[in-house]
Amino acid sequence: VSPLEHAMKTVQQILQSKGSTFWFVAPDTMVYDALKLMAEKDVGALLVLESGTRLVGIISERDYARKVILKGKSSPDTSVREIMSHPVTTVEPQRTVEECMAVMTDKRVRHLPVLSADRVVGVVSIGDLVKASLDEKDFLIKQLENYITGTH
């Protein structure tokens, strides 16, 4: 792998290293149950899938704070459908880390579902992208150091 190829890390490569497991709920799930699942799985967002396959939304801790707590609603009496964010901003597996970071910044989101042929194949978070970006920079610095010192 050349330094340039390594620097163009894709979402697919991130999913290969971190795994493509993602957590989801149905739109009629109660917000309280979604929050319990987020806490159990230690994640900040869940995908909302209809019939277990079709992406219809995403629910995050931010949705809960802004659309339940601040509006005086109750999480056991509110369905995910009522507070989920939709439509969902998604990316394809071939997108680069830099492209995804630009999308997240532009859309002000922290999680990007990854779709291939309209099927969810994973999720990348801002944390995943920051880690991948730092790994890329470390790799390039080492390559440059080796080049400069002639130890390649």
Summarize pLDDT for 28-87 with one digit per residue, the tens.
999 999 999 999 999 999 999 999 899 999 999 999 999 998 888 888 899 999 999 999
Whether residue 114 contacts residue 74, with contact meaning beta carbons closer than 8 Å, is answered with no
In this model, does residue 127 exceed pLDDT 70?
Answer: yes
What's the confidence (pLDDT) of residue 152? 60
Q: What is the mean pLDDT of residues 131-147?
A: 79
Distance, CA of 34 to CA of 23 (rounded, Å):
10
What's the confidence (pLDDT) of residue 7? 56
Q: Average pLDDT over the chain, rounded to whole?
A: 90
In this model, does residue 12 exceed pLDDT 80?
Answer: yes
What percent of the chain shows pLDDT beyond 70? Answer: 95
φ and ψ of 115, to 5 deg: -115, 140
Count of CB atoms situated within 10 Å of the CB of 119: 10
What's the confidence (pLDDT) of residue 138? 72
φ and ψ of 9, to 5 deg: -60, 135
Beta bridge partners of 49: 55
Pick the most confident of 46-50, 132-136, 137-141: 46-50
